[in-house]
Amino acid sequence: MAASSHHAGSSSSSSAQSEQRRRLVRAAASRQQTSSDGPEPAESSSLKRFLISGAAAAALLLAAATPRPAAAFQMPGGLFGGAPQPAAVATKVEAAPAVMENKTPLPDLSQLSMEEIKTVTLFKENTPCVVNIANIANARRYYSTDILKIPQGQGSGFVWDHNGHIVTNYHVIRGASEVQVSLIDQSTWPATIVGGDPSKDVAVLQLQAPKEVLAELKPIELGNSSGLFVGQQVFAIGNPFGLDHTLTSGIISGLNRELNTGYGGGAALRNVIQSDASINPGNSGGPLLDSRGRLIGINTAIYDPTGKGSSSGIGFAIPIDTVRGLVDQILTYGRVVRPVLGITIAPPQALRQMGLQGVLVLDVPPGTPAAKAGLQGITRDDYGRMSIGDVIVGMNGKPVKSEGDLFGVLDDCKVGDKVTVDVLRGGNKKRTLTVQLAERVPDATE
């Protein structure tokens, strides 16, 4: 009986379901006719909105309940002043090339302030761009022909491009027999010196590594130094005292400083950036970054009244606008092509004694651009008395009151340019001469 009752119940249920399907078909046909003849009924529209809202809510709950890896975390666009990011569009995703990265896991960002998150992210994204450079010299034992490799210094540098070019300070690699470069993944590779400029303290290296390693390098993002302001926040990354990838921060405390490197016949670094970010031995050649992680300078020197090489809160960086032009020349010519007048400059004390301002021409070697233009140096008469030749007081319409002014004008010129030089001949006769600049011949020590 139970089985019979179950079978009968199933037959009546099937008849009811068939009748229900027929009613649904007729209702659907009626709705289609209604939608073609007029607007949808309010009840149907409300039901549809309810179903859509319910589906959306279910999708959001499902997404929230699905765990995501830490690597999927991204800061929202515009959080630090940038433009909001557009919504993601479902497209075919190509496999991105592998890039060296800092694999240190991110901390629990919910425990950090927005400023701390910004700093942590800046460090994590830029450490793959920074390298450690070891300067190795060859030395021979006394009473032996054995050659020893002796580390004589180390510093920092950064990746310039995917071709394996590394930029650093010239003094970091000065006198090196070999150069070793260590990357973020702790691999170490030899490097050759492409070229450098001692007077500007910039050098370019070529990493000797396989193509697959070069392809994974992460070049640093370049900014510009022309729009900087005192008080702007800056960050320095380097390897002070051999401590791998150290971050220090501070502010720009001065602009347009001049720094003499001791090379180049008195030519000084101009428009140098002064900051109070801690710069210590090993930081030289490393990047100085703005708050968005863009390169604005190369850390090159500190003010050290103690002579012990420790930071005193006054550090100097070569501006990126200067570095960019120097690196381009080194990569093109293998050296920095700098124009010269072809004169020997007298010590400034001589002019001070005469109460004059400018640059006193001591000598004009034959065959130089200055000699061809008619500039004159100091001469002696038959009795041994000195006679002043030309005192340069202007160039290209700009006043020249010191050697720094003269070198500053020349830095803005190129080899082959014709410049106007204003002089006082004999200390009182004004003349204007036209000189076609030639290339400076580097010293043998460079």
Report pLDDT for 194.
95
427 and 349 in a single domain? The answer is yes
Report pLDDT for 36.
45
Whether 441 has a pLDDT exceeding 90, the answer reads no
Report pLDDT for 54.
45
User: Is-contact 373 433, C-beta < 8 A?
Assistant: yes
369 and 327 in a single domain? The answer is no
Q: Which of 308, 333, 358 is the last residue of a domain?
A: 333
Residue 164 — pLDDT band, cuts 50, 70, 90?
very high
Q: Is residue 90 part of a domain?
A: no
Establish whether 278 is a catalytic residue: no
Q: Is residue 4 part of a domain?
A: no
Q: Which of 300, 333, 366 is the last residue of a domain?
A: 333
Whether 241 has a pLDDT exceeding 90, the answer reads no
Q: 254-292: string of b/e by CB count within 10 Å (b at 16+)? A: ebebebebebbeebbbbbbbbbbbbbbbbbbbbbbbbbe
Catalytic residue among 201, 290, 390, 405: 201
237 and 329 in a single domain? The answer is yes
Q: Is pLDDT larger for residue 385 or for residue 218?
A: 218
- Reported as half-sphere exposure (CB side, CA atoms, 13 A), residue 73 has a value of 12
Q: Which of 145, 124, 410, 106 is nearest to 293 (CA)?
A: 124
Percentage of the chain beyond pLDDT 70 is 72
282 and 367 in a single domain? The answer is no
Number of domains in the chain: 3
Report pLDDT for 370.
93
Report pLDDT for 295.
97
Establish whether 284 is a catalytic residue: yes
Establish whether 7 is a catalytic residue: no
User: Is-contact 75 119, C-beta < 8 A?
Assistant: no
Report pLDDT for 47.
39
Listed range (30-44, 162-176, 261-275, 372-386) with the worst mean pLDDT = 30-44
Residue 108 — pLDDT band, cuts 50, 70, 90?
confident
Report pLDDT for 379.
86
Catalytic residue among 165, 284, 311, 405: 284
Residue 342, C-beta contacts closer than 8 angstroms, at least 6 positions apart = 364, 365, 368, 369, 370, 371, 438
DSSP, collapsed to helix, strand or coil, labels residue 59 as helix
Q: pTM above the 0.85 mark?
A: no
Whether 168 has a pLDDT exceeding 60, the answer reads yes
Work out the mean pLDDT of the chain and round it to a whole number: 78
Residue 355 — pLDDT band, cuts 50, 70, 90?
confident
Report pLDDT for 72.
36
Q: Is residue 29 part of a domain?
A: no
Whether 264 has a pLDDT exceeding 70, the answer reads no
Listed range (219-223, 238-242, 417-421) with the worst mean pLDDT = 238-242
280 and 259 in a single domain? The answer is yes
Residue 147 — pLDDT band, cuts 50, 70, 90?
confident
Report pLDDT for 213.
93
309 and 359 in a single domain? The answer is no
The residue segments making up the domain with residue 193 are: 128-215
Whether 316 has a pLDDT exceeding 70, the answer reads yes
Residue 212 — pLDDT band, cuts 50, 70, 90?
very high
Q: Is pLDDT larger for residue 333 or for residue 32?
A: 333
Q: Is pLDDT larger for residue 348 or for residue 12?
A: 348
Q: Is residue 445 part of a domain?
A: no
Listed range (15-19, 28-32, 141-145, 401-405) with the worst mean pLDDT = 28-32
429 and 349 in a single domain? The answer is yes
Residue 259 — pLDDT band, cuts 50, 70, 90?
confident
Chain-centroid distance, C-alpha 434: 38
Report pLDDT for 139.
79
367 and 396 in a single domain? The answer is yes
Structure tokens at 306: 């103690």
- Residue 162, domain CATH: 2.40.10.10
Report pLDDT for 17.
52
Q: Is residue 11 part of a domain?
A: no
Q: Is residue 226 part of a domain?
A: no
pLDDT in tens, 77-91: 333 333 444 444 444
Q: Is residue 34 part of a domain?
A: no
Q: Is residue 224 part of a domain?
A: no
343 and 433 in a single domain? The answer is yes
Tell the burial category of 130 from Cβ atoms under 10 Å away from its Cβ (0-12, 13-18, 19+): buried
Percentage of the chain beyond pLDDT 90 is 42
Whether 6 has a pLDDT exceeding 50, the answer reads no
- Residue 392, domain CATH: 2.30.42.10
Report pLDDT for 211.
92
Q: Which of 215, 242, 260 is the last residue of a domain?
A: 215
Listed range (89-98, 157-166, 274-283, 396-405) with the worst mean pLDDT = 89-98
Residue 281 — pLDDT band, cuts 50, 70, 90?
confident
328 and 351 in a single domain? The answer is no
Whether 348 has a pLDDT exceeding 70, the answer reads yes
348 and 432 in a single domain? The answer is yes
Residue 398 — pLDDT band, cuts 50, 70, 90?
very high
Whether 433 has a pLDDT exceeding 90, the answer reads yes
Amino acid at 191: A
Catalytic residue among 165, 171, 311, 405: 171
Residue 310 — pLDDT band, cuts 50, 70, 90?
low
Q: Quote the CA–CA distance of 10 and 408 in Å, as a whole number.
A: 101
Over the Cα atoms of the chain, what is R_g?
Answer: 36
